[in-house]
Amino acid sequence: MPRTLSFDDLKTAVAEGTIDTVLVCLVDMQGRLMGKRFHAVNFVETSFNETHCCNYLLATDIEMATPDGFASTSWQSGYGDYVMKPDLETIRPVPWLEGTAMVLCDVLDHHNHPVPHSPRAILKKQIARLAELGFEAMMATELEFFLFADSLDKIREGGFRELTPISGYNEDYHIFQTTKEENVMRPIRNHLYAAGLPIENSKGEAEAGQEELNIRYSPALDCADYHTIAKHAVKEIAWQHGHAATFLPKWHRDRVGSSSHVHQSLWKDGTPMFLNKDDDLGMSELMKNYMAGLIAFAPDYTYFLAPYVNSYKRFAKGTFAPTKTVWSVDNRTAGFRLCGAGTKGVRVECRIGGSDLNPYLAQAVMLAAGIKGIEDKMTLAAPSKGDVYDDAKAGDIPQTLRAACENLRGSAFLREVLGDDVVDHYTRSAEWELEEFDRVVTDWEIARGFERA
C-alpha cells in the first residue's frame, strides 16, 4: 500500500534538503484546499503545532465574497481567526511540485474546539457516532471530470466561450482515445500514488474529453482526504500541461454531466457487515436498514450532493444521472445501486452526487442517514426494476437548488444529527448562491427575449 510521510520522515527530508516547502491546508465549504506555503524548516520547528487563518475561509462563496447572515462570523464581529491544527497523520509528498510536502488541518476555535461547520469536523462527528455502534464505514468516491484542449487561463480570458474538449468523441472505456490523454492522466495516476493515495485506475467516460479517476475504497475520512487531494491534483497537473480540467457537473446542455458516485459499506474488525450469504441478494439486515435510511432522507440531504445551481442541470432523464430516490440491483438508472451482490465487496452506490460535491459533507450526511436507518430499524422497499426514470411511484430527487435548500432548512433529521448551527450555516450558503444567481441576467434570457419579447 502507498503510504504517507511520518513527521520524522518529513524532518529527515527537510534536513537532507529534499523537501523545502510544506503546504498547510484546510478544506473549505466548497471542498477546496486553502492555506499557506510554509518554508519546511519553519514547519518542522514550530508551525507543525498550529497556524492561523481568517475565519471567513469557512463563510465565503466560491468567488471569496463575504455574504452576510452567518452566525459564526461577520463584518460586525470583525472576521477574527481560526486555528489551523495540522493533522500529522496526513503529511505526504506532493510529487508534482518540486521539493514540496502537504499536510491537512483540522479547524479549531480559540478554545481548541473543532469549528462545527468545518467539513472535516462534520464528517468526524458522524464517524464517531458510527464507531459507538461498533462499525467502521468504508467509502469510495469516483471522480469524473472533463479535460479541455486549452489552458484554464486562456479559457477564462476568452470568457469561457471557446470550450474545446481534449478529444473528439465519446471515450467510454476507450483505450486508443485515452492513450492520447496519457500525457496528463499518467502523471495524475503516478504522482497521486506516490503521494500515498491508493489509485486504482483511470478510464475514459461517456463523453468527449471526459475522464474518471478511481481510488480504492478506504475508511471514510481517508476517502474524503483522498478525493480532495486528487481533485486538486487533477486541476493542477492538467494546468502544468497546458490543459484545463473542470469538475463543473454540466458544462454544456448537450453533453453528459460529471458525477461523483459514492460507494459505501460498513465493516467490523475486517468483516464486511453488509454481507449475508443466506439472503437472496447477499444483503444483511444491517445493510437493508442502512439503505432504507439513505433513501428516506435523500431529499433532505441532496443539497450536500448538489450544492450549486448548475448541479441540478445534470439530473436529466436518459443520461445515467438519476432523478429518483429508489434503489435497484446493478441498474444505473436509479439513485442507489446495489453493487457486488452476495460478495465480500457488497455495497451501495449513491449515484446522486455531482462532481462538485464536497466529499466530507456528502459522506457525513449519508452516514447520518444510514445510522438513522439502523437505529430505527427502517424497512427497505423492494428494488425497482427496468428504466426507473418513468416510475411514477418512485420519489423524486429535488429538481432545483431552491427546492434542495428548502428541504435542508426544514429537515428535522439533519437538525438532529448535524445541529441547528451547522444546518443554518449551510442553508445560508445555499440561499446566498440563489440570491447571487437571481441577480444575474443570463445570456439565455437575452437571446430568447431581446427581439421576440
If one asks whether residue 216 binds ligand ADP (CB under 6 A), the answer comes out as yes
C-alpha cell at 423: 444546518
CA 318 to CA 337: how far, in whole Å? Answer: 16
To the nearest whole angstrom, how small is the minimum distance from the Cβ of residue 416 to ligand ADP? 26
Determine the size of the site formed for ligand ADP (CB under 6 A): 12
If one asks whether residue 61 binds ligand ADP (CB under 6 A), the answer comes out as no
To the nearest whole angstrom, how small is the minimum distance from the Cβ of residue 140 to ligand ADP? 3
If one asks whether residue 342 binds ligand ADP (CB under 6 A), the answer comes out as no
Residue of 43, 56, 82, 217 that binds ligand ADP (CB under 6 A): 217
* Residues sharing a CB contact under 8 Å with residue 446, sequence separation 6 or more, in sequence order: none
CA 282 to CA 264: how far, in whole Å? Answer: 15
If one asks whether residue 409 binds ligand ADP (CB under 6 A), the answer comes out as no
Binding track, positions 66-105, relative to ligand ADP; x by CB under 6 A: ----------------------------------------
Only one of the segments 6-14, 181-189, 209-217, 350-358 lies at the binding site for ligand ADP (rule: CB under 6 A); that segment is 209-217
If one asks whether residue 189 binds ligand ADP (CB under 6 A), the answer comes out as no
Residue of 89, 109, 150, 200 that binds ligand ADP (CB under 6 A): 200
Q: Is the Cα dihedral 178, 184, 186, 192 positive or negative? A: negative
Q: Closest by alpha carbon to 4, among 104, 118, 98?
A: 104
If one asks whether residue 25 binds ligand ADP (CB under 6 A), the answer comes out as no
| Nearer to ligand ADP among residue 225 and residue 424 (C-beta) | 225
Contact between 116 and 364 under an 8 Å Cβ cutoff? The reply is no
Only one of the segments 5-13, 257-265, 320-328, 361-369 lies at the binding site for ligand ADP (rule: CB under 6 A); that segment is 257-265
To the nearest whole angstrom, how small is the minimum distance from the Cβ of residue 377 to ligand ADP? 22
To the nearest whole angstrom, how small is the minimum distance from the Cβ of residue 227 to ligand ADP? 11
Binding track, positions 122-161, relative to ligand ADP; x by CB under 6 A: ----------------xxx---------------------
Of the chain, the end-to-end C-alpha distance in Å amounts to 62
Bridge partner residues of 114 (DSSP): 108
To the nearest whole angstrom, how small is the minimum distance from the Cβ of residue 296 to ligand ADP? 21
If one asks whether residue 396 binds ligand ADP (CB under 6 A), the answer comes out as no
CA 418 to CA 404: how far, in whole Å? Answer: 17
CA 127 to CA 138: how far, in whole Å? Answer: 10
If one asks whether residue 210 binds ligand ADP (CB under 6 A), the answer comes out as no
Alpha-carbon distances of 382 from 69, 295, 327, rounded to whole Å: 43, 12, 8
CA 195 to CA 124: how far, in whole Å? Answer: 23
Residue of 214, 258, 276, 284 that binds ligand ADP (CB under 6 A): 214
If one asks whether residue 260 binds ligand ADP (CB under 6 A), the answer comes out as no
To the nearest whole angstrom, how small is the minimum distance from the Cβ of residue 204 to ligand ADP? 13
Residue of 67, 99, 345, 395 that binds ligand ADP (CB under 6 A): 345
SS3 353: coil
Q: Write the DSSP assignment of 158-206 as a string of letters.
A: TTT----BSSSSB-TT-HHHHHTTHHHHHHHHHHHHHTT--EEEEEE-S
Contact between 181 and 188 under an 8 Å Cβ cutoff? The reply is no
CA 410 to CA 427: how far, in whole Å? Answer: 10
| Nearer to ligand ADP among residue 60 and residue 363 (C-beta) | 363
Backbone Cα Rg of the chain: 22
- What 5-13 contacts at long range (C-beta under 8 Å, 24+ apart), as own/partner pairs, is 5/91, 5/92, 5/93, 5/101, 5/196, 6/88, 6/91, 7/44, 7/48, 7/88, 7/91, 9/91, 10/40, 10/43, 10/44, 10/91, 10/101, 11/44, 13/40, 13/101
To the nearest whole angstrom, how small is the minimum distance from the Cβ of residue 100 to ligand ADP? 27
| Nearer to ligand ADP among residue 291 and residue 404 (C-beta) | 291
| Nearer to ligand ADP among residue 11 and residue 288 (C-beta) | 288
If one asks whether residue 347 binds ligand ADP (CB under 6 A), the answer comes out as yes
| Nearer to ligand ADP among residue 275 and residue 326 (C-beta) | 275
If one asks whether residue 284 binds ligand ADP (CB under 6 A), the answer comes out as no
The DSSP 8-state label assigned to residue 69 in this structure reads: -
* Residues sharing a CB contact under 8 Å with residue 80, sequence separation 6 or more, in sequence order: 54, 55, 73
Residue of 72, 118, 265, 363 that binds ligand ADP (CB under 6 A): 265
Only one of the segments 13-21, 177-185, 210-218, 278-286 lies at the binding site for ligand ADP (rule: CB under 6 A); that segment is 210-218
Point out which residues bind ligand ADP (CB under 6 A). Answer: 138-140, 200, 214, 216-217, 263-265, 345, 347
